[in-house]
Structure 1
Amino acid sequence: MQATLSPSASRWPLWRKWLFCFSCIYLLLFISPLTWLASVPGLGEVAGAYGAAEGWLVNLGNRHLFHVKDVLVPLNGSGDTSYGYAQLCFFALAGVVGATLWVLLDRRRPSYDTGYRWLLVLVRYFVALNALGYGILKLFALQMVPPTLSALATPLGDFLPMRFSWYFIGYSKPYQVFSGAAEVAAGVLLLWRRTSTLGAFVAASVFLNVMMLNLCYDIPVKIFSIHLFVLSVFLLLGDAGRLLNFFILNRPTPPAPEAAPLPWRWRVAQLTLKAVFIGLFALLPLYQYAQGSATASAPAKGRLATGFFEVERFEANVPDSLRWKDVVFEANTSGSVGSPDTLLRQRYRRGYFAYTIDSASRTIAFKKMASDSLPLFTLRYAQPDSNHLVLRGRMRNDSVLIALRRQRRHFQLAERQFHWLSEANR
């Protein structure tokens, strides 16, 4: 692979030029630099037009060639939807066809040394910005959240592997900060050419772990995490011979060739662009994520007793199997009930909801999602004391009365236990 990617030879063989052309087309489509313009004010239309054209081609290819699924599910919180796999097939097909035509039409060109260097720069910044984006969130413990009260009240066996792994990392803030620091270190090292080899080495190690977590715990970012690992390795292939000599063969390793120094004006422009990239694609997403998290975790307006409540009385015209067994009101505007009632959003055998408080009319509006404009139902509430809550109103066009009593549930997992001295397995 060293011979494949090293730019030292003056004339490249045909197979090597084809590999470069395929890599160039495939990676440009995957990285999709034009979509980055969506973050730039006034240029979102360009990114939108590009996305629409790509979507049309992916769907066209799926109908006639790929047949991943009859109706493709678009990309959402999961990057591994049927559209994601059809998109991957389209990128590969475009790379094969485009590289073949490129090499045939440009067969007199001896090599693509300059193009290879610029492709490395693009890939280096792409990996760096993703490492910084994910790493900064983890560095401030914003990506994975600790188990909520609703999660603590859910039997372990009801969790899906993805949610189980999410809480595993979110439970320990120091571990999440540590993993974020490793990603940030990789991103920072990749931003500078002199430290890019070390940065690629760290990034490959970090994203190998992320990739294996996603594969082994069924986390729906498999395609993207595999690409981040492969791209980190791609950055190392040009130095494969030197790394092999140093780490394995115990042979003398020559230094990497030095690039010609840039004039100071170009150097200032380079540093300015670097700062803009960091601001747009690392710090700005952090600010937006923090703002969204602050809004989501803001306490509900009005005073409402929160915590874990046992249902003492449930009067409603519903089957016994749908009756509420317990209710959790989180400190923010979310909660859950111990019931398989599909009127609420079902996750892990609990019905999840968002709620808003109207302290003037003393009502609680229950929604499936916080973004919903209309509530599922609205109940009046009364608080005889801080440990009791009574809900009255109509649900499914029928009267309902729910009497709740706070339980002082003791969850050991919420205690953040740590022991230097452990006399036995716990």
Structure 2
Amino acid sequence: MQPALSPSALRWPLWRKWLFCFSCIYLLLFISPLTWLGSVPEVGIVAGMYGAAESWLVELGNRYLFHVKDVLVPTNGSGDTSYGYAQLCFCGLAAVVGACLWVLLDRRRAHYARGYYWLLVLVRYFVAMNALGYGLIKLFALQMVAPSLSALATPLGDLLPMRFSWYFIGYSTPYQMFSGAAELTAGVLLLWRRTSTLGALVAAGVFLNVMMLNLCYDIPVKIFSIHLFALSVFLLLGDAGRLLNFFVFNRPTPPTPVLPALPWRWRVARLTLKTIFIALFALLPLYQFWQQKASAPTLTKGRLATGFFEVERFETAAPLPDSLRWHDVVFEANTTGSVGTTDTLLRQRYRRGYFAYTLDSTQSTIAFKKIAADSLPLFTLRYARPDSTRLVLRGTIRHDSVLIALRRQPRHFQLAERQFHWLSEANR
């Protein structure tokens, strides 16, 4: 996967030099190697300055040239925001202008073989970094979650395509681990030059599937996933002739030119840097993700019994529209839950109101919050348990006194059964 670096390298045609210059500028802007070590204090200062300068240029370009949107929304959980597309336009425009100037000012240079080699190394490690990071998280089934009780109680037609696909993968832990193992394999193979072509082939297949999932299920990581697939293909371009001869035309093909062996000190240094790379960009993100998951509210202490509760009575002092009434309540296996209502007082997702709660067993009260991190509750209700299946809530919501009588239902969700049959006599 590396170009020959012999002094007798042929002079590149103008179009090839321009393509290299364009690719080099565009990929350096998109990959932003300086931001890889943004968590290091000294490097983080420089990376922050770089990020601020890039944001200013993107905003400036959008104001006078791109006009993606009047006010750009920065990237958040979605990478496909208006800022993301304006940033894409900026990278493309900067690469076109920069490549033209580069080729014009450096027109006497015969080729950029050595620069192409190091660009491939940079792209290879960028793809490996993402393949290792995503692969390890999926290998331990930490990225996609299985459908919760609230999700199972949500009508299928109310789910957005992204959430539907998320539950599709999270439902099956073995499938998620398999997809993570494939990404992890690609990342490991890309770390070594001798296996990098095979790694790029595996990465292209893996990220083609990821890209199509994002495009077909409207998952807002389209820009990034398209780039990961395109970069995997970019790594294969130098070997395109050899791969076509071997796989398509059934012709003999020579091996890839190999660089001279490095002195043992350089080999030790390279192995050390590779180990640090794996620790920083694979093991550390996995540890941080695991710590974040472990700190989530999953303890059984201080929670109500898990289950699906039907609302038998919902009484208020003043008449309420049906959209504000509660129809059912779900208490999850942690201190969270959801209500079958479109009341925007609660955090709305898929026509259900989600909440976190704090239980005070001494005062027999439940403090309802939108999210667990909120310092103040939305409202606090007193609770009573007449028997093991019933729960009665009393208190004030929106300055209106309420009485909510709940009864636990033995709700059975077939999707939660983890069904698998070698022998299937009918299509179920």
TM range (shorter): over 0.9
Query: Which residue of 1 is the match for residue 45 of structure 2?
Result: 45
Query: Which residue of 1 is the match for residue 394 of structure 2?
Result: 392
* CA distance in structure 2 between the aligned counterparts of 1:225 and 1:42, rounded to whole angstroms: 30
The question of 1:325 aligning with 2:327 is answered yes
| Conserved? CA contact 1:301–1:358, under 8 Å | no
Query: Which residue of 1 is the match for residue 373 of structure 2?
Result: 371
The question of 1:407 aligning with 2:409 is answered yes
Query: Which residue of 2 is the match for residue 20 of structure 1?
Result: 20
Q: How many pairs align?
A: 423
* CA distance in structure 2 between the aligned counterparts of 1:269 and 1:82, rounded to whole angstroms: 42
| Conserved? CA contact 1:62–1:86, under 8 Å | yes
CA drift at 1:276: 1.1
Query: Which residue of 2 is the match for residue 307 of structure 1?
Result: 307
- Counterpart residue type for residue 254 of structure 2: P
* CA distance in structure 1 between the aligned counterparts of 2:218 and 2:198, rounded to whole angstroms: 30
* CA distance in structure 2 between the aligned counterparts of 1:334 and 1:261, rounded to whole angstroms: 58
* CA distance in structure 2 between the aligned counterparts of 1:354 and 1:217, rounded to whole angstroms: 29
* CA distance in structure 2 between the aligned counterparts of 1:7 and 1:355, rounded to whole angstroms: 64
| Conserved? CA contact 1:146–1:172, under 8 Å | yes
| Conserved? CA contact 2:133–2:285, under 8 Å | yes
The question of 1:161 aligning with 2:161 is answered yes
CA drift at 1:161: 0.6
Query: Which residue of 2 is the match for residue 119 of structure 1?
Result: 119
| Conserved? CA contact 2:297–2:335, under 8 Å | yes
CA drift at 1:185: 0.3
More displaced, 104-113 or 352-361? 352-361
Once the two structures are superposed, residues 223-276 of structure 1 have per-residue CA deviations (whole angstroms, 9 ceiling, x without a partner) of 000000000000000000000000000000101111111111111111111111
The question of 1:105 aligning with 2:105 is answered yes
* CA distance in structure 1 between the aligned counterparts of 2:43 and 2:335, rounded to whole angstroms: 36
The DSSP-based 3-state class of the residue aligned with 1:352 is strand
- Counterpart residue type for residue 326 of structure 1: D
The 1:367/1:421 distance shift into structure 2, 3 A limit, reads same
- Counterpart residue type for residue 329 of structure 1: F
Query: Which residue of 2 is the match for residue 246 of structure 1?
Result: 246
* CA distance in structure 2 between the aligned counterparts of 1:332 and 1:132, rounded to whole angstroms: 31
Once the two structures are superposed, residues 55-89 of structure 1 have per-residue CA deviations (whole angstroms, 9 ceiling, x without a partner) of 11101000000000111111000100010000000
Once the two structures are superposed, residues 277-299 of structure 1 have per-residue CA deviations (whole angstroms, 9 ceiling, x without a partner) of 11111111111111111222422
The DSSP-based 3-state class of the residue aligned with 2:12 is coil
| Conserved? CA contact 1:7–1:238, under 8 Å | no
- Counterpart residue type for residue 325 of structure 2: R
- Counterpart residue type for residue 338 of structure 2: S
Query: Which residue of 1 is the match for residue 292 of structure 2?
Result: 292
Matches within 5 A, 1:193-232: 193-232=193-232
| Conserved? CA contact 1:303–1:359, under 8 Å | no
* CA distance in structure 2 between the aligned counterparts of 1:260 and 1:329, rounded to whole angstroms: 64
Give the structure-2-normalised TM-score: 0.96
- Counterpart residue type for residue 369 of structure 2: K
- Counterpart residue type for residue 419 of structure 2: Q
* CA distance in structure 2 between the aligned counterparts of 1:419 and 1:143, rounded to whole angstroms: 26
* CA distance in structure 2 between the aligned counterparts of 1:303 and 1:330, rounded to whole angstroms: 9
* CA distance in structure 1 between the aligned counterparts of 2:260 and 2:350, rounded to whole angstroms: 59
CA drift at 1:347: 1.1
The DSSP-based 3-state class of the residue aligned with 2:386 is strand
| Conserved? CA contact 2:4–2:257, under 8 Å | no
Query: Which residue of 2 is the match for residue 180 of structure 1?
Result: 180
| Conserved? CA contact 1:18–1:100, under 8 Å | yes
CA drift at 1:42: 4.1
| Conserved? CA contact 1:133–1:286, under 8 Å | yes
Give the structure-1-normalised TM-score: 0.96
More displaced, 310-319 or 27-36? 310-319
The 1:6/1:89 distance shift into structure 2, 3 A limit, reads farther
* CA distance in structure 1 between the aligned counterparts of 2:106 and 2:383, rounded to whole angstroms: 75
List gaps (5 residues or longer) in structure 2: none
- Counterpart residue type for residue 260 of structure 1: P
* CA distance in structure 2 between the aligned counterparts of 1:217 and 1:350, rounded to whole angstroms: 21
The DSSP-based 3-state class of the residue aligned with 1:162 is helix
List gaps (5 residues or longer) in structure 1: none
Q: Give % identity.
A: 82
